[in-house]
Amino acid sequence: MIKRLQGLMLILFLVITLNGFSNALKINFNFLINKCFNSDTGKGSIKVPEGFSATIVADNVGKARHIVISPKGIVYVKSMRKINGKGIFVLKNVGANAKLTIIDTFCNYGGTGIVIKDGYLYASSDEEVFRYKLNAKDEVINPNAPEKIVTGLIEHHQHETKSIALDNVGNIYVNVGAYANSCQEHDRTKGSPGRKPCPILDSAGGIWMFKADKLNQTYGDGIRYATGLRNVVGLDWNQQTNSLFVMQHGRDQLFQNWPQYYSENDGAEFPAECMYELHKGSNCGWPYIYFNQQLNKKMLAPEYGGDGKTEGDASFQDPVIAFPGHLAPNGLLFYTGKQFPEKYKNGAFIAFHGSWNRAPLPQAGYFVVFVPFKDGKPTGKWEVFADGFSGKEVVNSTRSADHRPCGLAQGPDGSLYVTDDSKGTVFKISYTGK
Amino acid sequence: MKKNSLLVLVLLTVMVYALAQSQKPKQKTQDTPAASIERGRAIYQKECLSCHQADGGGVPHINPPLAGNTVLLNDKTKIIAVVLKGMTDRIPIDDEYYSNNMASHAYLTNQEIADVLTFARNSFGNKASVLTAAEVKVVRGVKKK
């Protein structure tokens, strides 16, 4: 009996110690994972294809959103927030190396959009669009007295940024993001149905077209060029097709708001982030449908009766190409330079800001993607062009990403510039191989 | 001999009892802060993590951090009301604006709201007192029209 008792005690002892041991192991294991995979891969160690090199050319450039580089090499960066009262940074390469120096700041509003066209610098706040005349050296002549081109655009805080692009016949295109996730009666609320018709679409959730040289225009002066776009941040005029291409941020919370139809993984992967080629009257279907990139189909949104399986109205426009969910495409640029190899000519670079909405999967994106194009159409799959901006192997929480790609610009020499609105870093990617 | 088997019996009973205790969900009768935090963790993962993130750090300019959040740590009534009614105030949160809408989570029970807020107030480096279902009940009771 004593023996049995001892045996019992031994088992008890073992159970307790093993339990404690495994706990200790778990901690060590996590620690190890952190050590191995979450370590800083080194600032500026951006992975680019063979023959390319990536360097940091500027730091602390506000909350650097979009960026444009003049023919004479002056770099203008729009900051989302004013820094010391100024919202545009002017940078120039003044030294022997490739680094950029901040030579000036101006502009009394934060915002996202910045474009140069026909001797003017256009920039946007979250409600208005301004333009500044440039001199022969590409310098802003009168930084304190811009012309106000567009005013009174909806800014209800959600999807509030206004990105801009210009065509070649004097029009400017401005995105007005929808101030909702899926036009529900109660935004982002579990089970709340969609409003039909969605009243937001009258003044937001699309692209508006205005004259590039007319002052003080607002909704009635422009036209709703395209609708059914939840929120667009990256957009560019494609010179080859002579048409506007945009990147839509797809809706969030399929799982969180409709757990009866979607698994956590469905909610992380869907819907697709889509590229659309727009024409006057384009309707891309938000909030009624979303795009499922695996089925390659437009699905009826659950707010409008969908269940993850039912297809939506086929008459809505199809995307040109679709990407995994929630990666947040913030910059789009069609490459027209001569520096990069032939394959890149007229293709699309896309800066993905990186997700916040893919839990329980790790967050993803935080990279620059390339889509090869021929005759205005993608010729194949998208590929990651520049990666490692987050500085982490695995990003579980958005804030832990070191850099978040946002804006793209092409330098006069054909180099590609990428901004980061987290630390205000500017990266330059050049082709050095042969 | 008899003594020993009695001992074994007592030991076994104690073990079985302890096991049963650890297995069954903690009842209100013997609630502890640790238990509330554990339940709150599960609720956080399901209801809040997508926006406020695994590390409680939020998403820059979109969803506010709960880590180090002054209101979360200091104003129980306000945070209970935020979970019950949602928040679209667009007032600065620790000096920064956030653009997303937080929806109402009134479908959670008073206990669940107490648990998730107690979890948030004691995670991500935060340290603050326990919040009880009774406190949630009071705020839910004075619902505004």
Q: Tell me: the pLDDT tens digits for A319-344?
A: 999 999 999 999 999 999 999 999 99
- Is residue B11 one of the residues assigned to a domain? no
Q: Domain total for chain B?
A: 1
Supply the pLDDT for residue A283. Answer: 98
- Please list every residue in chain B whose beta carbon sits closer than 8 Å to the beta carbon of residue A187: 88, 101, 103
Residues of A at the B interface (Cβ-Cβ below 8 Å)? 1-2, 4-5, 8, 12, 80, 157-160, 180-181, 186-190, 192, 252-253, 256, 356-357, 359-360, 396-400, 422
Q: What is the pLDDT of residues B67-106, one digit of tens each?
A: 999 999 999 999 999 999 999 988 999 988 999 999 999 9
- DSSP one-letter code for A43: T
Judged by a CB distance cut-off of 8 A, whether residue B67 touches chain A is no
Q: What is the pLDDT of residues A234-273, one digit of tens each?
A: 999 999 999 999 999 999 999 999 999 999 999 999 999 9
pLDDT at A423 over 90: yes
Q: What is the pLDDT of residues A90-102, one digit of tens each?
A: 999 998 888 999 9
| Domain range for B72 | 33-141
Q: What is the value of ipTM here, to two decimals?
A: 0.82
Encoded amino acid at A126, one letter: D
* Proportion of chain B above pLDDT 90, given as a percent: 71
- Pairwise pLDDT comparison (A434 vs A10), residue with the higher score: A434
Cβ within 8 Å, pair A359-B4:
no
Strand order in the sheet with A232-238: A232-238, A243-248, A273-278, A321-323
- Is residue B15 one of the residues assigned to a domain? no
Smallest CA–CA distance from A326 into chain B, residue? B50
- Is residue B22 one of the residues assigned to a domain? no
Q: What is the pLDDT of residues A97-138, one digit of tens each?
A: 889 999 999 999 999 999 999 999 999 999 999 999 999 999
Supply the pLDDT for residue A386. Answer: 98
* Over residues A26-41, mean pLDDT: 34
Q: What is the pLDDT of residues B31-74, one digit of tens each?
A: 899 999 999 999 999 999 999 999 999 999 999 999 999 999 99
A278 - beta bridge partners?
Answer: A244
Whether the Cβ atoms of residue A305 and residue A312 lie closer than 8 Å to each other = no
* Proportion of chain A above pLDDT 70, given as a percent: 90
Supply the pLDDT for residue A157. Answer: 87
Cβ within 8 Å, pair B53-A398:
yes
Q: What is the pLDDT of residues A281-302, one digit of tens each?
A: 999 999 999 999 999 999 999 9
Token representation of residue A168 = 């070649």
* Proportion of chain B above pLDDT 70, given as a percent: 77
- Please list every residue in chain A whose beta carbon sits closer than 8 Å to the beta carbon of residue B63: 356
Torsion of CA B63, B69, B74, B76, to 10 degrees: 30
Supply the pLDDT for residue A317. Answer: 98
Contacts of A367 (CB under 8 A, 6+ apart): A352, A354, A384, A385, A386, A387, A388, A389, A405
Count of C-beta atoms within a 10 Å radius of residue A379: 11
- Is residue B88 one of the residues assigned to a domain? yes
CA B41 from centre of chain: 6
pLDDT band for A8, please (50, 70, 90 cuts). very low
Domains of chain A: 44-431 (2.120.10.30)
Q: How far apart are CA A315 and CA A370, in angstroms?
A: 29
Smallest CA–CA distance from B14 into chain A, residue? A12
- Is residue B43 one of the residues assigned to a domain? yes
- Is residue B4 one of the residues assigned to a domain? no
Query: How does A57-83 read in b/e, with b if 16+ C-beta sit within 10 Å?
Result: bbbebbbbbbbbbbeeebbbbbbbebb
Q: Of A220-224, A250-254, A378-382, which gets the smallest average pLDDT?
A: A378-382
pTM of the model: 0.87
pLDDT at A356 over 80: yes
- Pairwise pLDDT comparison (A363 vs A380), residue with the higher score: A363
